[in-house]
Structure 1
Amino acid sequence: MLALVSALTLGGATWVYALVHVITRIVIFFRVPETDGQSLDAVQQSLRRGTFLPRPLGKGA
């Protein structure tokens, strides 16, 4: 484990952080349901009904 830490370096750690950030943004973009134009009450009602779900995988934007 110590060899990995010393081999990673500050620049490598920054690249790992950047990669994790990009992957996270992509997952959020495709998996978080759209709420634009909906009131807070409408979102809360769909959460209670269980209809506030992410898009199925592979459907895109």
Structure 2
Amino acid sequence: MDQPVIVVRGRLARRVWEEAGRLGVSVDEYVAELLSQGLDPKDKALEYVEAATALLG
């Protein structure tokens, strides 16, 4: 399955890269964490399983 692409430029992009680096995680991991913050714990766990499966597969 092709992954959709999201383009973020400028200051916001630099901020994402810097914060991910500061936390020692990939940009993908950092953005996934930001987007899943408001999810129900069960839904959040399902998102992590799906992301992990995609990375391994």
TM-score (norm 1): 0.28
Report which of the two structures shows the higher radius of gyration computed on alpha carbons: 1
Higher share of residues assigned helix? 2
